[in-house]
């Protein structure tokens, strides 16, 4: 039986999750796809730190080592920041590897470029994990777009701030109390800037703009307002009125074709699709022309949700090939 060789770039939470899912699901993937998936290299900074027992022999700190693997076909990428991630994936695509990424910072800026290049090379780019963790919003939207037009997207795309807003409402916690608890639970980083400022959600809504509209607005024209602007009085007032603050990332294609987007706390009423989404959940509501409004809700982060959608990207890519070899 054929074996597909794959590498993982970055071996933090998500990278380790990919390794676990691939190994736990080895037999099932083989049975479904007719090929075996083997992780043959893992790119890390410190090869002396064997984070998962049994992986020492796979670790390397050199991208050259990774790309030199004979017959490498798939690269999973779970690094942060634009570089060197983009350069690594570009090189992988150039040598005709399928690439599967969880890197929203890189993908928001360079995703279209990477996809264009992949097209010319006849390989695929999986990026489900760049937006909303385990929520399969990319595949759902791709499918919808085969026939429907999407005119507007509204999402809760950051679980940390949604958790904080939920607790501030339910428990009357202050912003500082909610942040401290989010940090204690591991939802927020020691430096919570990317989450609370809206920058994280901003990158994700830009990825969705590329998919839904084929283009992004000029980044400088997008207002990105964090949840740290909300006062206790505003929250109390909302509660008294039966409304809820959500940290909403939204994008819309106007009648004249212009794309507008913003990230900001918004007051939503009980009939709004994002009203019931509490705690660390993510949700995306899409307005479409034929179907109406579709909402997808689920866990927006975490080792296993994020890693499993990346392995699903792999299965989808490989499954297409295998399916076709059989059916033509």
Query: Active-site residue numbers?
Result: 204
14 is in an annotated binding site: yes
17 is in an annotated binding site: no
CB 201 within 8 A of CB 249: yes
Return the number of the residue (123 or 178) whose C-beta is nearest its own copies: 123
Q: Least distance to its own copies from the beta carbon of 142, Å?
A: 10
198 is in an annotated binding site: no
Q: Least distance to its own copies from the beta carbon of 233, Å?
A: 25
Count of CB atoms situated within 10 Å of the CB of 289: 10
| Integer CA distances (angstroms), 150 to 261, 288, 292, 299, 323, in order | 14, 4, 9, 23, 29
Q: Least distance to its own copies from the beta carbon of 302, Å?
A: 8
Q: Least distance to its own copies from the beta carbon of 311, Å?
A: 5
Three-class DSSP category at 269: coil
Query: How far from the centroid of its chain's Cα atoms is residue 284's Cα?
Result: 12
Please report which residue ranges of the chain form alpha helices under DSSP H.
Answer: 13-24, 26-33, 63-67, 85-94, 104-121, 137-144, 159-170, 175-184, 193-196, 199-213, 232-240, 303-327
Return the number of the residue (250 or 312) whose C-beta is nearest its own copies: 312
11 is in an annotated binding site: yes
Query: Is cis: bond before 84, omega within 30 of 0?
Result: yes
Q: Least distance to its own copies from the beta carbon of 281, Å?
A: 9
* Among 178, 187, 86, 179, CA closest to 130: 86
Return the number of the residue (128 or 200) whose C-beta is nearest its own copies: 128
Return the number of the residue (202 or 213) whose C-beta is nearest its own copies: 213
Burial 168-186 (b: 16+ CB within 10 A, else e): bbeeebebeebbebbeeee
189 is in an annotated binding site: yes
160 is in an annotated binding site: no
Return the number of the residue (77 or 262) whose C-beta is nearest its own copies: 77
257 is in an annotated binding site: no
Backbone phi and psi for residue 214, each to the nearest 5 degrees, phi listed first: 75, 5
Instruction: Dig out the tokens for 212 from the structure.
Output: 């839904």
Query: How far from the centroid of its chain's Cα atoms is residue 92's Cα?
Result: 20
Query: What residues contact residue 71 under an 8 Å CB cut-off, 6+ apart?
Result: 5
Return the number of the residue (101 or 197) whose C-beta is nearest its own copies: 101
Binding site for its own copies (CB under 8 A): 21, 25, 28-29, 32, 122, 134-136, 139-140, 143-144, 146-148, 270-271, 273, 275-276, 278, 290-299, 302, 304-305, 307-309, 311-312, 315-316, 319-321, 323-328
Torsion of CA 111, 137, 150, 263, to 10 degrees: -70
Residue list for the binding site for L-homoserine: 189
Residue list for the binding site: 10-15, 104, 189
Residue list for the binding site for NADP(+): 10-15
Residue list for the binding site for NADPH: 104
């Amino acid at each position: 039986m054929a074996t597909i060789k794959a590498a993982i770039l970055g071996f933090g939470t998500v990278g380790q999750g990919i390794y676990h899912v691939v190994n736990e699901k080895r037999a099932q993937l083989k049975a479904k796809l007719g090929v075996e998936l083997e992780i043959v290299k893992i790119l890390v900074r410190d090869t002396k730190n064997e984070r998962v027992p049994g992986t020492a022999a796979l670790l390397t700190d050199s991208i050259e080592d990774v790309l030199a693997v004979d017959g490498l076909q798939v690269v999973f990428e779970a690094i942060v920041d634009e570089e060197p991630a983009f350069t690594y994936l570009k090189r992988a695509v150039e040598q005709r590897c399928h690439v599967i990424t969880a890197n929203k910072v890189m993908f928001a800026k360079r995703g279209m470029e990477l996809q264009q290049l992949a097209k010319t090379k006849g390989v695929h780019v999986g990026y489900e994990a760049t937006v909303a963790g385990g929520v399969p919003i990319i595949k759902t939207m791709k499918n919808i777009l085969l026939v429907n037009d999407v005119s507007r997207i509204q999402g809760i795309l950051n679980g940390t701030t949604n958790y904080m807003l939920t607790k501030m409402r339910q428990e009357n916690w202050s912003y500082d109390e909610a942040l401290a608890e989010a940090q204690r639970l591991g939802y927020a980083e020691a430096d919570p800037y990317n989450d609370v400022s809206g920058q994280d959600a901003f990158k994700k809504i830009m990825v969705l703009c590329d998919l839904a509209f084929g283009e992004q607005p000029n980044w400088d024209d997008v207002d990105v307002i964090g949840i740290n602007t909300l006062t206790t009085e505003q929250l109390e007032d909302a509660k008294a009125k039966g409304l809820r603050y959500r940290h909403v990332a939204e994008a819309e294609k106007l009648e004249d074709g212009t794309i507008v987007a913003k990230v900001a706390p918004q007051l939503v009423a009980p009939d709004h699709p994002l009203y019931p989404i509490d705690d660390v959940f993510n949700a995306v509501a899409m307005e479409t022309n034929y179907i109406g409004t579709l909402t997808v809700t689920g866990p927006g982060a975490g080792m296993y949700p994020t890693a499993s959608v990346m392995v699903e990207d792999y299965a989808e890519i490989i499954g297409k090939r295998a399916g076709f070899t059989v059916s033509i």
